[in-house]
């Protein structure tokens, strides 16, 4: 797994050159739309601060956030930080994890699901006491390499500096496995390989020595000798020989 934890707002985008072959689909990447989602989530969190160290959990309504509510999760740490309760789970995350409507705790989340990866990140927010952005890669329960990017934001149940809720917004994309990537690379190389010029087909004898011979000479059958039924076999043979010599 590859992780990249960083304070929210910093970017490490690499320049990607444009490919001439538009017919070849590039591997999936976490792009600008996903990043803008996390910026909107951060702005939403900041709008709830109201001169407090952390927004009040009473002001948060995950079900009412149409923009990114389906990609969000709310963790309740009021009973401790080791195994937080899942207080809210958006539909997209629920489907990715294969969880039922009944919510549980982080320890009950299916292994190798996206939600199980939050244990690698939510302790960072308690240490930093501020929103934390992260991106990483892992192999999920469907044996697909998955790139994911998210932001975790602290909330409090009172007006002091105690963090007892964390609200996260996550986006992800499944990528092809190593074998599929190798097959794609081979197909791309084959598609870009130089090709021999196409030569128009020419009739074999178009310029040959028999070009002036009329097609009728070959297509019309030889004229049979005109003999009546009373002619003898010898007469037929003589006539046939004469016809052959004339040809």
User: Based on the domain organization, do 44 and 164 belong to the same domain?
Assistant: yes
Q: Is the pLDDT of residue 198 over 80?
A: no
Tens of pLDDT, residue by residue over 55-84, are 999 999 998 988 899 999 999 999 888 899
Pairing of strands 165-175, 132-139: unpaired
Q: What residues make up the domain containing 239?
A: 216-246
Asked whether residue 191 is assigned to any structural domain, the reply reads no
User: What digits encode the pLDDT tens for the residues 9-45?
Assistant: 444 443 434 443 333 333 344 455 656 888 999 999 9
Instruction: Name the domain count of the chain.
Output: 2
Read off the CATH number of the domain in which 166 is found: 3.30.450.20
- Over range 184-191, report the average pLDDT: 67
Q: 190: which 2 tokens?
A: 């084959």
Q: Is residue 97 part of a domain?
A: yes
- 151 and 91 in a single domain? The answer is yes
Is 128 found in the same domain as 75? yes
Both 164 and 235 in one domain: the answer is: no
Q: Does any domain span residue 187? A: no
- Neighbour count for residue 137 (Cβ, 10 Å): 16
Q: How far apart are CA 133 and CA 128, in angstroms?
A: 11
Residue 104 placed within a domain: yes
Taking residues 200-216, what's their average pLDDT?
52
Domain boundary among 180, 206, 227: 180
Q: What is the DSSP string of 42-72?
A: HHHHHHT-TTSSS-BGGG--GGG-TTTGGGE
**204 in a domain, yes or no?**
no
Residue 28: inside a domain: yes
């Amino acid at each position: 797994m590859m992780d990249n934890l960083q304070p929210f707002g910093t970017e490490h985008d690499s320049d990607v050159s444009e490919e001439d072959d538009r017919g070849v689909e590039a591997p999936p990447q976490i792009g600008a739309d996903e990043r803008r989602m996390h910026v909107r989530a951060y702005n939403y969190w900041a709008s709830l601060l109201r001169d407090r160290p952390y927004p009040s959990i009473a002001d948060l309504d995950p079900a009412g956030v149409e923009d990114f509510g389906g990609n969000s999760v709310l963790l309740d740490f009021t009973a401790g930080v080791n195994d937080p309760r899942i207080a809210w789970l958006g539909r997209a995350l629920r489907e990715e994890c294969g969880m039922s409507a009944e919510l549980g705790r982080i320890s009950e989340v299916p292994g190798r699901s996206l939600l199980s990866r939050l244990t690698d990140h939510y302790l960072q927010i308690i240490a930093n006491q501020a929103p934390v952005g992260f991106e990483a890669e892992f192999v999920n329960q469907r044996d697909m390499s998955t790139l994911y990017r998210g932001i975790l934001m602290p909330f409090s149940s009172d007006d002091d500096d105690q963090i007892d809720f964390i609200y996260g917004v996550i986006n992800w994309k499944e990528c092809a496995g190593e074998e599929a990537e190798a097959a794609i690379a081979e197909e791309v190389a084959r598609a870009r390989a130089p090709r021999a010029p196409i030569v128009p087909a020419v009739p074999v004898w178009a310029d040959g020595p028999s070009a002036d011979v009329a097609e009728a000479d070959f297509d019309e059958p030889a004229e049979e000798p005109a003999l009546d039924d009373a002619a003898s076999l010898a007469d037929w043979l003589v006539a046939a020989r004469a016809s052959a010599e004339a040809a």
